Amino acid sequence: MRNPQLNAHGELQHLLTIEGLPREVIVHILDTAGSFVGITERDVKKVPILRGKSVFNLFFENSTRTRTTFEIAAKRLSADVINLNINTSSAAKGESLLDTIDNLSAMHADMFVVRHASSGAPHLIARHVEAHPHLHVVNAGDGRHAHPTQGLLDLYTLRHYKQDFTRLSVAVVGDVLHSRVARSLIHGLTTMGTPDVRVIGPKTLLPEGVEKLGVRVFNDMNEGLRGCDAIVMLRLQNERMKGPLLPSAQEFFKSYGLTAEKLALAKPDAIVMHPGPMNRGVEIDSAVADGPRSVILPQVTFGIAVRMAVMAILAGQ
């Protein structure tokens, strides 16, 4: 079966998930993002790659970083950007997702950037628009399934600070069970040949069979952090939890919150990452989040270039 993200020529048609994305496609996205970082550093504000194209941001779930950086990225590529306000759109009157898509397509949309609480919603849209090869769908986070541009910006950040994926130990810590960010990053790291990917968390917050993704599993954070090059902290996704999976946020912080003391177990030059939004005092201590090893805000900035790269490549550049 053909990869639904690639067209018949093996080119990226949609970005739905990092799972199954060929290594060369990931490298192309990261390299293209690097060239956009270079352009921005030379103070070039806009390039005409998406001039005349319309990018529709459809965020059926809250977002600060992803929605805003997609908008900035599309504008830097000279696209027209339409942010659909879901609360005041016809979705609030019961219009189906696919009817909304048909109507926006009739307004000459070229690209849909979709965040949805239901896993698979962007795949459904991509299948629905199959007959219109000029239309591209980008998954901006679907349920607990995938958040590919976050995974790509995490990979970009790791490559920026640590260069070679094939020499890295990366620890992903916390609520892996509900995390689309974790799943996307794990697929990205294993595709890029990272030899040591670790997941750390209580049994209740780790998916059953997670080791099948090619990771080592730790329930003891002190053990799991030892000697790693990068630590990716995850937010407790309370909104996705069905029933109590933890005694309390305070207990979670004691065992799995990243403090300076726990960070000292990683390599002396280990970096600290977090996709945001961050809950200080729950998964991460402020001293670490704001400390010299934190690259949390550079991750956000790299997200602009990575999203520019994805949209430029989808547009055939």
- Of 19 and 71, nearer to ligand CP (C-beta) is 71
Question: Considering the rule CB under 6 A, would residue 237 count as an interface residue with ligand CP?
Answer: no
Which positions from 44 through 63 interact with ligand CP, judged by CB under 6 A? 63
Question: Considering the rule CB under 6 A, would residue 227 count as an interface residue with ligand CP?
Answer: no
Taking CB under 6 A as the criterion, the residue among 150, 179, 191, 294 binding ligand CP is 150
**Minimum separation from the CB atom of position 183 to ligand CP (A):** 13
**Minimum separation from the CB atom of position 272 to ligand CP (A):** 15
- Of 35 and 68, nearer to ligand CP (C-beta) is 68
**Minimum separation from the CB atom of position 186 to ligand CP (A):** 16
Which positions from 276 through 315 interact with ligand CP, judged by CB under 6 A? 276-277
**Minimum separation from the CB atom of position 219 to ligand CP (A):** 25
How many Å apart are CA 211 and CA 217, to the nearest integer? 7
Question: Considering the rule CB under 6 A, would residue 64 count as an interface residue with ligand CP?
Answer: yes
- Of 49 and 142, nearer to ligand CP (C-beta) is 142
Binding-site size for ligand CP (CB under 6 A) equals 10
Which positions from 66 through 125 interact with ligand CP, judged by CB under 6 A? 66
Contacting residues toward ligand CP, per CB under 6 A: 63-66, 141, 147, 150, 275-277
